[in-house]
Structure 1
Amino acid sequence: MSKNIEELKSLSTQIRRDIVRMVHAVNSGHPGGSLGCVEYFTALYGKVMNYNLPFTMEGKNEDLFFLSNGHISPVFYSTLARFDFFPVAELATFRKLDSRLQGHPTTHEGLPGIRVASGSLGQGLSVALGAAQAKKLDGDKSIVYSLHGDGELQEGQIWEALMYGAAKKVDNIIATIDYNGRQIDGDTDDVLSLGDLHAKLEAFGWLVLEEKNGNDLEAVIAILEKAKSETGNGKPVAILLHTEMGQGIDYMMGSHAWHGKAPNDEQLASALQQLQLDEITDY
């Protein structure tokens, strides 16, 4: 579903409203990273990725997306609902008993758009590389996209996968790092510094692109399109996407505190006041 930029910007604000309302309703969830990745998801599903509806698990002859840092499920669920994978009203069931919208995405409920259970950090790149290789074996020219947290890169399996992807020349994958510099316990530099991440990824044999304005929708679309143009050249592609945790809500930005904390009633009201739209379509 391709929309124009202004429509996508409005949709980004609506998705942010969904995120804070979802986590507030159950006093549980991860709003910080979700809010920071809104432009990425909006760009991916609104402009960049080629996908089919109704959703099929096989995903033949279409682009695939895998969310590795599954705790940011609120932004994923809202995006899928707003792009017609399932009814928007179902967002009201987030993290409730018998819901298809679990705290971390799972597959056994059959929620359209979810291709793999995620949330145990470090595993998503391995899955995405496997899917990308399967597409090569099938002669499918489509692209596989994945998203990872920067704190997640402290997991060893990520680096095994990075080494594998380059060694096997898996050049139909675009792995994006949500480079917000924060994780649940504090700044990544304080918890376990990633050092010169750009240089490290290049040393592992990946083509690395970087976008400093990861919350600028047009910039995100442009870097994703640039990444697409670099596929098929013998190297896997990585994007370092600099974002702000809690983007769009003043009291959440600039801190790791909202990684996994829900707003109370007053904080929700403040957030929604900051996320105004000409036409609000809350579920």
Structure 2
Amino acid sequence: MVQQDSLELQAQAIQVRRSIVTMLQHAGSGHSAGPLGMADLLTALYFNLLVHDPADPEWEGRDLFLLSNGHTAPVLYAAMAHAGYFPVDELMTLRRLGSRLQGHPERLALPGLESTSGPLGSGLSQAAGAAYVLQHIDAVPDRFVYVMMGDGELNEGNIWEAAMFAGKYRLNRLIGIVDRNFIQIDGSTEDVMPLEDLAAKWESFGWHVLEIDGHDMQAILDAVADAKDATDKPTVIIARTIPGKGVSFMEHDYLWHGKVPDIDQARAATAELDLLANGASS
């Protein structure tokens, strides 16, 4: 794929958000806040950072992307559709019986998915295993493994077991991204199970740690470039995001974690996104 620059990525992310709102309203169930907040990160990955080929999803030279917080699947599906893995119209089949676009990604259902995710906390272990093979068994120098995690998901002990493993084996092919939006289904992450000092936790497990604004496209691109330069350890990018980003009545509201817009709310949301798109293009 032709790599887009930061301004093109910003415009593309708005279209990804628009698709998220429309598909969730059409499905009548799913998660809104997280996917909207992660749209910039997934857009940067699928339209600039990942080495991949939508026309050949099984290409052996591709980078791997795993979505550990699988309930945020709408943003993954939207990014993949806009990148050319399948028709954008298919997004309207989200969560339907027999659809390739289930509520959590199912690897065998859709070409381009690298893992099946449902139980939270498992993605980092899967990604670390893949990175270990690339680095210590196949010795492939130019392939990277990316894994997206939610901050609420870091409550799972499996995450920290995998973090220990990756630190021990210095998996420099592994780039973790934490969607640090400070919400989970029951409220604020810092009320449910405090995570700070989050950077120090990862550093203590032997990781290279970067903290960025997860809506700043250039910061995302620069952070991944920095991660690729870390030759002796895995990297985690803690990306601070706004849940519900781009839709004013959803932003920062944890109640939208597992809630979808009705038709009137979807119209209002897409109108806001259209205004953002017009501003970005002017």
With the length of structure 1 as denominator, give the TM-score of the two structures. 0.93
Deviations 1:141-167 (A, max 9, x none): 211100000000000000100011111
Q: SS state of the match for residue 74, structure 1?
A: helix
Matched, 1:48 2:46: no
Secondary structure at the counterpart of residue 13 of structure 1:
helix
Supply the AA of the counterpart residue of 1:98. G
Whether 1:241 aligns to 2:239 is yes
In structure 2, how many angstroms separate the alpha carbons of the residues matched to 1:202 and 1:7?
33
* Alignment match, 1:171: 172
Greater helix share, structure number: 2
CA shift for structure 1 position 100: 0.2
Q: Percent identity?
A: 43
Any idea what the Cα deviations from partners look like across 1:38-78, whole Å, max 9, x if unmatched? 11011111111111233344x52221111100100000000
State the Cα distance separating 1:10 from its structure 2 match. 1.6
Aligned-residue CA RMSD (Å)? 1.2
Supply the distance in 2 between the matched residues of 1:176 and 1:132 (Cα, whole angstroms).
15
Within the alignment, does 1:9 sit opposite 2:4 as a pair?
A: no
Q: Equivalences for 1:22-101 in 2 at 5 Å?
A: 22-57=23-58, 59-101=59-101
Aligned positions, number: 273
Determine the C-alpha separation between the residues in 1 that align with 2:53 and 2:118: 25
How big is each residue's C-alpha offset from its partner over 1:3-28, in whole Å with a ceiling of 9 and x where there is no partner? 23332222111110100111111210
C-alpha distance in 1 between matches for 2:71 and 2:138: 32
> Residues of 2 paired with 1:15 and 1:53: CA distance?
17
Amino acid at match of 1:228: K
Q: Please name the residue that 2:210 is paired with.
A: 209
Q: CA deviation at 1:245?
A: 0.4
1:37 aligns to what SS in structure 2? helix
Note if contact 2:54-2:112 (Cα within 8 Å) is conserved in structure 1. no
Which segments of 5 or more consecutive residues in structure 1 lack a partner in the other structure? 279-283
SS of residue matched to 1:66: strand
